[in-house]
Amino acid sequence: MKVVVVDANLVPHRERLEAAVPSGTKVGWHVGGVPLDGLRDADVYVGSRFTAEMANAAEKLKLIHVAGAGTDKVELEALGPDILVANTFHHERSIAEYVVTAAVMLRREFLAQDRQLRRGVWATSVYDAAIPQLTTLGGAHIGFVGFGHIGRYAWNLFRAFGCSGSAVTGSAPFALSLPPCWWRTTAAPVSTQRTAVAAARVQCWARMCMLGSPMSVIG
């Protein structure tokens, strides 16, 4: 079996990946792009982008594995019926931590305070009555547009701060520990405009909004 890997994010995990494949498997690394001749005898392709031209060259291909959640860069209509396309979820925790970190920084106005401190100004209501006292993240109601893997991880972290939450989702409504208001959409493909409408609806009652939905499906 021949496996072609082009995803640069997998390079730090090369040793683990090659140790996990069956004995006798040939793993070729082509970070940045594989020549078409390199696909002709490939059984497995690991990468996020796969074009019709690549599909025509990959005569033996059985599996395209995207090392992420999105398959939007794979030209599915160009694939033969025997080629499987798989994705994976592995980055929920890191993205959720980023989301909550950004929320704390925005809520507490860290960036504005950092700019002031670099100018030698201690921008706080203690010294300037014109500056309002900032509220804690725990007092925020968090709105989610899309409530999938990343949304649920982020919600678990927000909940630890004491936040309340609600969501717009096309997948089954997952029960939150605090009573939410749910607007459920269909799981059918939706337009960017409908996604924007859902986001606007969330913003009517949420102090912060997390857009966790791809443009093709709210979920």
Write the CB contacts of 17 (distance below 8 Å, at least 6 apart in sequence).
Answer: 5, 10, 27
146-176 in b/e form (b: 16+ CB < 10 A) is bbbbbbbbbbebbbebebbbbbbbbbeeeeb
Q: Of 211, 102, 214, which is closest to residue 167 (Cα–Cα)?
A: 211
Q: What is the pLDDT of residue 201?
A: 52
Q: What is the pLDDT of residue 74?
A: 96
Strand 2-5 to 26-29 pairing: parallel
Rounded (5°) CA angle 131-137-140: 100
Average confidence (pLDDT) per 10 residues, the chain, 219 residues: 95 94 95 91 96 95 92 94 91 90 90 91 86 86 81 90 80 45 42 48 51 40
Query: Rounded to whole angstroms, how far apart are CA atoms 207 and 205?
Result: 7
pTM (2 d.p.): 0.65
Q: What is the pLDDT of residue 185?
A: 42
Q: Which residue has the tokens 């060259």?
A: 57
Which CATH number does the domain 92-211 belong to among 3.40.50.300, 3.10.180.10, 3.10.20.600, 3.40.50.720?
A: 3.40.50.720
Tokens describing residue 122: 């201690």
Q: Do you know the residue count of the chain?
A: 219
CB 13 within 8 A of CB 27: no
Q: Backbone phi, then psi, for 215, in 5-degree steps?
A: -70, -20
Domain locations along the chain: 2-86, 92-211
Q: Fold match between 2-86 and 92-211? A: yes
Q: What is the pLDDT of residue 170?
A: 65
Helix (H), strand (E) counts: the chain: 6, 9
Q: Of 16, 28, 13, 10, which is closest to residue 66 (Cα–Cα)?
A: 10
Q: What's the Rg (C-alpha) of the chain?
A: 23
Which CATH number does the domain 2-86 belong to among 3.30.450.20, 3.40.1170.10, 3.40.50.1360, 3.40.50.720?
A: 3.40.50.720
